[in-house]
Amino acid sequence: MKANTIDVEEALELKADKADVEEALDLKANKTEVEEALNLKANASDVYTKKEANSTIAAAIADIDHLKREIVDVLPDIEDANPNAIYMTPSGL
């Protein structure tokens, strides 16, 4: 079967344009760039879970020398009381 001019022209129209292919290849992700970007992301061993973060923050706040709430069964004597504490007793006492 011999190709005619119309068939050849139709086939050439379906062929990818070289400039379009080169542009698409330029937009394609570079393996080295992708690996570098992934290495910049946080490593699982270098981050806190939400629970760990909340516990760490709560502990740090609790250690600050500021007004704290303490629940006690018996109120301490004034000389033994923490000046940065509000003492609370369970209801009914």
Residue 18 has pLDDT above 90, yes or no: no
Q: Quick one: which of 73, 64, 66 has its CA closest to 92? A: 73
61-79 mean pLDDT: 87
Residue reference for tokens 């070289």: 18
Burial class (CB in 10 A: 0-12, 13-18, 19+), 8: exposed
Predicted confidence at residue 77, as pLDDT, reads 94
User: Any idea what DSSP says for residue 64?
Assistant: S
Which of these ranges, 47-51, 59-63, 74-78, has the smallest mean pLDDT? 59-63
DSSP SS3 for 31: helix
User: Model pTM?
Assistant: 0.32
Ordered by start, the domain boundaries in the chain are 5-88
